[in-house]
Structure 1
């Protein structure tokens, strides 16, 4: 049986939780992760909330995710939620 897809909002929130968990496991602050990944602290804070702007799900660029996975020392796949989002427009 195929896994049900989640909404883009749910996917973004789960990605944010995964970022938060990986960061906590490394004992790093949000500001430190953002600095090491080359993004603004505010941007990273919003990512952990699953947002890009208030009320809008995050949609980070591929290279931003790669930088975050490198800083957090986890494979990108470990940051991504297990289920795929429903991208029907």
Structure 2
């Protein structure tokens, strides 16, 4: 079994910026998304900033279920939320088709 790696600082920031853009495009507040996702507003704010801890300034590394809940709260698919966060997706060849169907 392989050990998972934490997000890099740039990946955490990219995810946070993506969350913020999609949330704002949907006309939602941080409070509304956090409540719907079942996390605190403070936790959500940190994720949008790409942080797990304000004092230590460490990159965020949310769990899959948290990211899934946030995507649902914003009203987007998990693929839409994660599009272009990691380029290329680990273990997959680089293609022009991101976040959608891949033609092999």
TM bracket (short chain)? 0.7 to 0.9
Count of aligned residue pairs for this structure pair: 80
Give the match's secondary structure for 1:74. coil
Structure 2 equivalent of residue 78 of structure 1: 80
Larger RCO (CA within 8 A; separation ≥ 6): 1
The match for 1:23 is: 23
Q: CA deviation at 1:82?
A: 4.0
Greater helix content: 1
TM-score, normalised by the number of residues in structure 1: 0.82
- List runs of 5+ in structure 1 lacking aligned partners: 1-6
Tell me which residue corresponds to 1:12.
12
- Higher-Rg structure is 2
Measure the CA separation in 2 of the matches of 1:8 and 1:64: 18
Unaligned runs of 5+ residues in structure 2 are 1-6, 90-104
* Superposed counterparts of 1:9-88, under 5 Å: 9-54=9-54, 55-80=57-82, 81-83=85-87
CA RMSD of aligned residues (A): 1.9
> Runs (4+) of structure 1 moved beyond 6 Å?
none
1:84 CA displacement:
5.5
CA contact (8 A) 2:11 2:86 kept: no
